[in-house]
Structures are given as C-alpha cells and as structure tokens.
Structure 1
Amino acid sequence: MKYSNIDFNNKTVVITGGAGFIGSNLAFYFQENYPNCKVIVFDKFRSEETFSNGNLKSFGHFKNLLGFNGIIISGDINNKDDLARLEEYDIDYIFHEAAISDTTVADQKIMIDTNVNAFKDLCDLAVRKNASMIYASSAATYGNSTVFKVGHEKPNNVYGFSKLMMDNLAKEYFDKIRIVGLRYFNVYGPREYFKNKTASMVLQFGLQLLKGESAKLFEGSDNILRDFIYVEDVIQANIKACETDKNGVYNVGTGRARSFQDIVNILKRELEIIRDDTYIPNPYIGQYQFFTEADIEDTKKYLGYEPRFSLEEGIKAYLPEIIRIYEEEVR
C-alpha cells in the first residue's frame, strides 16, 4: 500500500540501519512500490561484539534483506570514512534508523557517540545533498512523564536522553532542510526477530506460547500499559513525513495504551491456547516506563497520519510470521 503522493521512482533513498527491524521494512516498502527507486542500505551488520549487559552491539542481519535488490554498504555511522562512501550518491531522502536502541545499555559514551554525534554528521550530509532527513526518535524521551506530548520529556535512562538530544540538535537544521523526528512508541512486527532479547513482547510471548510454555509476564502486567504500534503504521509515518512542510518532532503510536496482559490474551485467543500465565518480579524498576500513550494529534494534523492497526489487528496480521519464525528459526 502506498502512503504518499510522492513518486519515489528515480529518487535515491538512503536507509541507515537498513538491515535492522524498521530499516529493512522501509527498504522493502520502496522496492515493492517504486521499482525505479535507488535504495541504499547502510548498516553495520551484526558481529559477535556485545555490551556489558551481554546484548549484541548490532542487530542488523542479512536475513532481514533476503530478496532485496538495492545497494548494500556495510558501515558504521560512527566512522567518518564509512559515511564518506555515501558522498558519491545524489541523495534525495535519508531515513536514519541506525542507533543503539537497547534501553538497558549503560555505556553512556558510546550511546551519545552513536545516537547524537553521528546524527550530526548525517544531518550535515543531508544539508550538502539537499536531502530530506527523516529520523527515528523515541517515546523513551518521555520517561516518567505523564504527558506524552512534545515539551514534556523526562528521560530516565541514557537512551531516552540521547534521543532527546537528537531532537534538540535537529532544531538547528530546521531552516536548512526538511527534517522530521518520529518518536516511536512500542513497535512490533515482521523482521524484528534478530533483535533477540530486545524484540517486542508480542514476538517473545508468541514464541513462548508456541513452544508450549506459559507466557512469562512481570507482576502487575495488567496495570503496565504501553502504546503498542504495528510496524506498518511506522512505515506509514515515515513516508508521510516526506511530504510535510512543518519540520518538527512527532509521536508515532496508536493513541491508545494497552496492557502486556492484553497481548498475551489476544495471542492465546488467536492461537486457541488455554494455559495459565507465569508472573515474575520486574528487575527494571527505576528505568522502566509503566505507562505510555502517544498524543498523536499533531502527527495527524501535520503528517496526515492515521493509525490503521489496533493491537488486535496488528497481532492477527503478524501471527503468520511469528509462526514461521518459530518453525524455521526456533524449533
């Protein structure tokens, strides 16, 4: 489905983090809808390097790009020589999805280097190329806030802080290029499997249930509410951001908070599974958001965005892929 009146054929699109979850979905959106669009995926790709928390430093995976016909550049956004390889292209749009997205990473230097300093280098590239910059911000900027609207940020971890600093930096470019930040809420959907432990709980609960296990929820999960958004609506927001004449930062969610218990109940209903759940203590209290709900009025007004998938509809659309992952990657 096309989300814009822009004809991206004969345009050049760069997607940083294009072998990751959202980036790879963007790559295939352009390939499937605009066969003459030149799509360049720039991604670090995964190695065996890990952070102190044991999680991988990069989640980019070649399997997310099986069937992709565009240009692949293996590069690190922190490496200026790698970024220089993009200079040879006449770039029209940059979709900046590369980041350290693991909210449990404690290394503050690498978080700021990757999420803030490298972003400035990419913004400067966009200025030189007169390209539009659409970049991934995050609902983590709100932290413990009770108001999920731009101007009410209270990040409670370095990841949320780094994304807020990206948003602040973007303002310096408002009079130079089209630049739009998208604060993603809890995204789930195809091509997230290789995020491993940081993949959405929709996928993790689904795989637990398919393995014959009980779903493992934090205690009080019926009262832990988040705005869960299907990846197809995130793609919609990215594409519609290319049309707006109002630079800024916009929330990308459904506008309705749902519980983790809701996810499990929907999955069990769709899979026709009757099984008791298991409840465990939450080890992340202090850096954990217990409630998020996107205020999307500005996103609707200025981007023409309208979420298409409720949690029920998103899980139903995603379920065949969850089953495929279980059968081909897990079992």
Structure 2
Amino acid sequence: MIETTSAHPRPVLPLPATLETLPRRVLVTGGAGFIGSALVWALNQQGVDRIVVADRLGQDEKWRNLVPLRFEDYLEADDLFARLGSGALGDFDLVLHLGACSATTELDATYLARNNFEFTKHLAHWALAHGARFVYASSAATYGDGAHGMDDTDNAPAALTRLRPLNAYGYSKHLFDQYAAQAGILRQLVGLKYFNVYGPNEAHKGEMRSLVHKAFGQILETGSVRLFRSHRPDYRDGEQQRDFLYVKDAVAMTLYLAMAPAAGGLYNIGSGHAHSWLELTGALFAALGRDPRIEFIDIPESIRAKYQYHTKAAIAKLRAAGYGAPVTPLADAVKDYVQNYLTGDRRLGD
C-alpha cells in the first residue's frame, strides 16, 4: 500500500454524498491529474484504497497530487494495455477513465484523436469484456457554443451528430460519445460532460487552470484581477456566465453515478446555475478579505469568435438518477478552496 500521513489535518467541507455501495477495486486513469486525483481522494474518504493509478507524470508537478493519497500501485499510462492484457494488474470492478489531454488550445488533432478517442475506445472495450463498470470523462466542450442546446437526455446518434464542438479537444471527446452511441454500447457506460470544474489539485494545469487559481496569484502579486471585457452588446463587461462546479461536488456526482447500477449514457456534471465572472471574483476577494479590484482586457482575436458567453448545465437527468445532494454554494466553495488549499499550496488529503 502506498500511503502518506498528513502533517496538516484541518477541517474540510464534507463530501456531498456518502456511497451506499462501494467498489472493491478501482482503476483510475489520469489519477495524478486534477479530477482524477480528486476521485482517488474521494474514494479514500469512503475507505476505498484498493486503487491502481495510471497517468503520465511528465515534467510538471502533478505528482504532488498523489503524495497524500492511498493506492495500491502506479504505472505510466503507456504501459497500461500491455499489463492489462497480460493480467498483471488483476481484476477491477470499476474503471474511472479521466486520462486525456484536456487542453482546449491543443492544435495537434492527430494526437488528440489517438490519446482521447482511440485510448478511450480500447479501454472501454476492455472494461466491457472483463465485467468492469466503465465511467469516462466526456466534456461540456462537446456542446460547442450551445446553439443546439446543452441537454444530456437524448443520447441517440442523430442527436449527438447535431452538436458542433468549437475546438479539437471538444471534438476528440465528441468522437467517442458518437462512437459509443453508434456502436450501441453507450447505455452500458457512463460518460460525464464536466462543465467548469475548479478546486484543489489543478495547479499543474498551466493555462488550463481555473480563473480562481489564476486570479489568486494575480491578487497576491498586483492586488487586482484581469477579466475579459465583453465584445457583445447584450453582455456587460464581466457578466459573461459559466456553470462553475467545485471539484468536491464533481467527484461526488461522479462516484454516485459510477455506483448507481441503473445509470447509463451521458450526464452533465455541473451546478445547474450560471454565475458571472464578477460573481466568481467577488467570492474570491471576499475569501481573501479584500475589496474587489478588477481590470478589463480585450479577448484575444485568436479565440474571440469561439468565446462562450453563457453556459449552464441541465442536470435534471442527474437528479432523476437519484443524486439529491445540494451543490456547494459558490461563495462557500471558493472560500474552502482559497483558505484551505490555495493559501499554503496544499493538495486534497494534505
């Protein structure tokens, strides 16, 4: 067993839900990453530590996310299929597939297709063949600008074909959603369309970090936060909206669906509320005990045409599946993140 004991115990928000049924043994791909490591932490909170983590640690510091966590084994993702095929890793009853390139700015579509689509397809078929529950990360980026809605209830191939992702990352995720639907296996899987998830363990993500993480550094350095001004007359500066979801809620939703036998297909994972950037930064300044200071800057020309002004997850399907826990209010979640993690540069489990 790989385990590290925390030297800094402190109160944290409880998980919004306690699982009635627990997995016996779990494979978590992308388990050193943001949501992946948070899932390992959440499983540990439930007493589950028979976990194998697969990832590519590379040269950033996401290895730090693993330090406080309990799991049986770690392997590099490039070795995963060989070891699964040989039987060296043993049996799993749950596969949580979070491993992917999640950079919306990645331009190498071939790399994304191989890493995000082909890898997922191979692993899904392995899980189905070996009787393991397969839960994978899709993305709200599959919805594109939302012109065709952000509804997760119609998983038919024809409905998915109407969606128009705006970047190669979103398309690579959309490819597998479509494949699974057309192959008739989507109902046997759980695909999760994560909206704007933020929280501890995202420090390694570079430009893909949430605004909360970026703005925290800006405030400490300059005392102010830079936000994109609006380039549309129907939105004032800073009033563009997103569905922000705290990572602790995201993993609670994920694990609930993973252990709900009747759940299948695609699910939106979001708060069900749209908050403005001004509301988010206001909560951040409040958590730091400072008065808001905001500077507006132009949206770069390179992304202006693809910029989303409003996202909100429809989560009726999640609720219908039986997930009844309230979503952590924005101000409470930001406060927990800032005071218990960003201040002191701590990870989940520290």
Identify the TM-score tier after normalising by the shorter chain: 0.7 to 0.9
Number of aligned residues = 312
Alpha-carbon distance in 2 for matches of 1:86, 1:282: 50
- Which residues of structure 1 form unaligned runs of 5+? 48-58, 327-331
User: Could you tell me how far apart the structure 2 residues matched to 1:155 and 1:60 are?
Assistant: 30
Bigger shift: residues 170-179 or 301-310: 170-179
Contact 1:78–1:118 (8 Å) recurs in 2: no
2: CA distance, partners of 1:63 / 1:260: 29
Match in the other structure for 1:227: 243
In the other structure, the counterpart of 1:323 is 343
Structure 1 residue aligned with 2:22: 7
For 1:163, the aligned partner's letter is: K
Contact kept in structure 1, 2:29 and 2:77, CA below 8 Å: no
Query: Alignment RMSD, CA only?
Result: 2.3
Partner of 1:44: 56
How far has the Cα of 1:231 moved from its partner?
0.4
Moved more, 75-84 or 272-281: 75-84
Q: After alignment, is 14-23 or 198-207 more displaced?
A: 198-207
User: Equivalent pairs: percent with the same residue?
Assistant: 29
Structure 1 segment 4-153 matched on structure 2, within 5 A:
4-8=19-23, 11-35=24-48, 37-47=49-59, 61-76=62-77, 80-81=81-82, 84=85, 88-146=89-147, 147-150=149-152, 151=159, 153=163
Partner of 1:310: 329
The equivalent residue for 1:260 is 277
Deviation at 1:172, TM superposition (A): 5.6
* Residue 215 of structure 2: aligned partner: 205
2:54 touches 2:80 (CA, 8 Å); kept in 1? Answer: no
CA contact (8 A) 1:182 1:250 kept: yes
1:208 Cα offset (Å): 1.3
Structure 1 residues 65-102: Cα deviation after superposition (integer angstroms, max 9, x where no partner): 11223133332359743654665311100000011100
Runs of 4 or more off by more than 6 Å in structure 1? none
**Which amino acid letter does the alignment assign opposite residue 285 of structure 1?**
R
Deviation of residue 213 (structure 1)? 3.3
- TM-score, with normalisation over the residues of structure 2? 0.82
Unaligned runs of 5+ in 2: 1-14, 153-158, 231-236
What amino acid is aligned across from residue 225 of structure 1 in structure 2? Q
If asked which structure has higher relative contact order (CA below 8 Å, sep 6+), I would say 2
Deviation string 1:99-136 (CA, Å, 9 cap, x unpaired) is 11000101110011111010011012102220001111
Distance 1:231 1:174, change over 3 A: farther
Shift of 1:60: 6.8
After superposition, the Cα gap between the structure-2 partners of 1:310 and 1:85, relative to the gap in structure 1 and judged at 3 Å, is farther
Instruction: Supply the AA of the counterpart residue of 2:45.
Output: E
Give yes or no for contact 1:112–1:162 (8 Å, CA) kept in 2. yes
Code of the aligned partner of 1:183: K
Bigger CA drift: 76-85 or 91-100? 76-85
Deviation of 1:217 after TM superposition, in Å, equals 0.7
Pick aligned residue for 1:292 from 308, 311, 322:
311
Cα gap change, 1:133/1:305 in structure 2, threshold over 3 Å: closer, same or farther?
farther
Moved more, 214-223 or 231-240: 214-223
Q: What code does the residue aligned with 2:255 have?
A: I
